[in-house]
């Protein structure tokens, strides 16, 4: 009886192994694929050919948002930095809402997709200065000067590096901060 059971099991295994039929179809190729494919429907960003026109366009778009008194835009390659002027008495949350509304309007515009929006008064003023320097024919020098001013505001002043004017002599220089830890 044991031989008969073993023989039956081997026969079943052989029968199931031979039951698979070789398929003629290999992995689906794009030519045999009958599924519908959709192309990306998001608007593609436009290449900026005239930075002055794009800056003017984005400024006008920003000033149409309620709460924006004025806007100043500087375009560098395909990125625009837009400083918006808002009422200085507004609460921070309201300024954030206005800034968000401007960014939302820019998102729908093909030129404004990669724009950076700021409501900081100092940065907006510096953008205005860069824009004026560009109009005067000195875009790189104006940009470099304003970046130096911005960085000068960011760099901290340490109290230990200050020396009172009365005790400082001509040859006396402030102590350099020890950078070794």
Q: Measured between alpha carbons, how far is 67 from 98 in angstroms, rounded to an integer?
A: 7
Give the pLDDT confidence score for residue 34 in this predicted structure: 66
Residue 43 pLDDT > 60 = no
Residue 104 pLDDT > 80 = yes
For every residue of 25-40, which 3-state class applies, written as one string? CCCCCCCCCCCCCCCC
Average pLDDT for residues 29-33, to the nearest whole number? 60
Residue 149 pLDDT > 90 = no
Give the pLDDT confidence score for residue 65 in this predicted structure: 93
Give the pLDDT confidence score for residue 100 in this predicted structure: 92
Q: Which DSSP symbol is given to 94?
A: H
pLDDT band with cut points at 50, 70 and 90 for residue 173? low
Could you read off the pLDDT of 47-93 as tens digits, one per residue?
667 778 888 999 999 999 999 999 988 887 778 888 999 998 889 99
CA-based max dimension of the chain: 116
Give the pLDDT confidence score for residue 30 in this predicted structure: 58
Could you read off the pLDDT of 6-25 as tens digits, one per residue?
666 666 666 666 555 555 55
Region class of 23: left (phi > 0), else alpha (psi between -120 and 50), else beta: beta
Average pLDDT, the chain: 76
Where do the domains of the chain lie, and which CATH numbers do they carry?
51-150 (3.30.70.1350)
Could you read off the pLDDT of 122-147 as tens digits, one per residue?
888 888 888 888 889 888 888 888 87
């Amino acid at each position: 009886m044991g031989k008969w059971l073993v023989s039956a099991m081997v026969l079943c295994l052989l029968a199931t192994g031979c039951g698979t039929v070789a398929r003629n179809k290999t992995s689906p190729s794009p030519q045999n694929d009958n599924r519908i494919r959709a192309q990306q429907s998001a608007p593609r960003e436009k290449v900026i050919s005239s930075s002055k026109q794009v800056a003017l366009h984005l400024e006008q778009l920003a000033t149409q948002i309620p709460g924006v008194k004025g806007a100043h835009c500087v375009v560098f390659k395909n990125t625009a930095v837009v400083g918006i002027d808002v009422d200085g008495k507004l609460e921070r949350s309201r300024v954030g809402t206005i800034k968000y509304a401007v960014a939302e309007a820019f998102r729908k515009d093909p030129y404004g997709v990669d724009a950076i929006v700021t409501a900081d008064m100092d940065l907006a003023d510096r953008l205005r200065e860069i824009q004026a320097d560009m109009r005067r024919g000195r875009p790189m020098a104006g940009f470099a000067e304003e970046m130096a001013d911005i960085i000068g505001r960011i760099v901290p002043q340490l109290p230990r590096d200050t020396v009172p004017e009365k005790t400082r002599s001509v040859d006396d220089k402030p102590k350099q901060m020890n950078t070794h830890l």
